[in-house]
Amino acid sequence: MLKIDKRLNIALEVQRENEPSVYIHAVPVDKMVYEANYRLITRTAITMYGDGMAPGACCRVAMLALRATAKEMDGAGSGDVYRRSAESLIQEIWRLSNVLMPGLKGWETVPFHEAIQNNTLDDEQISEVQNILVYFTVLSWFHRESERKDIYEMLKIFGAQIVSSNVTEYSSSLPISTRPVTTGATAPASSIAH
């Protein structure tokens, strides 16, 4: 009997210099989005693996590979149907991704595209997260469940966890974290070291 597979979500810890870590939580695109983009997703996976890339390398270049594959699929003079599809797919991946940030009252959920605009992450971190999220989307639909388990395990190297919880449940599972509040008051003279 065929087992119905529940697709899991990904959560990434992103460590920032001189700032508390943030967490990215994303869900894979739904079946309808996959079916509209199955050729692009499949070709992207085949292209990366055909170039001899292991999953670790795919995590570094998946968004670039998706765009390059779309450009190649469009070919010379045939329009930009796949390039538009690739950009729509990327926007859907970002829509399904949230950033959990320490706030004044615990973890605050911010849409991924807003976190990019607000410079929550630096350019290198954004690129790393984007490539991992695109690869997660590709592997979620291209690989069979037994294959995904091994790749999910490898993703731990990148600070990723595969979780069944939604963003609210995942946020609740994180240790309480709040952004420090500065009051503007100075420490009493007796507490200043000499």
Q: What's the half-sphere exposure (Cβ side, CA atoms, 13 Å) at 166?
A: 2
Residue 147 pLDDT:
87
The pLDDT assigned to 190 comes to 46
Regions of the chain where pLDDT drops below 50: 1-5, 187-194
**Domain locations in the chain as residue ranges:** 9-181
Residue 32 in tokens: 């309808």
Which residue in 90, 45, 38, 33 sits closest to 69, CA to CA?
A: 45
State residue 100 phi and psi, 5-degree precision: -100, 120
- pLDDT of 176 reads 75
CA–CA gap between residue 92 and residue 162 (Å, rounded): 19
Residue 20: in which H helix or E strand, if any?
strand 19-26
Tokens representing 69? 């594959």
Q: How far, in Å, CA of 134 to CA of 115, rounded?
A: 17
Can you tell me the distance from the alpha carbon of 116 to that of 89, in angstroms, rounded to the nearest whole number? 17
- What is the predicted pLDDT for the residue at 71? 94
Chain Cα centroid distance, residue 3 = 27
Cα dihedral 39, 42, 47, 51, rounded to 10, equals -170
Task: Summarize pLDDT for 49-85 with one digit per residue, the tens.
Answer: 999 999 889 999 999 999 999 999 998 666 789 999 9
Q: Which residues contact 165 (CB under 8 A, 6 or more apart)?
A: 9, 173
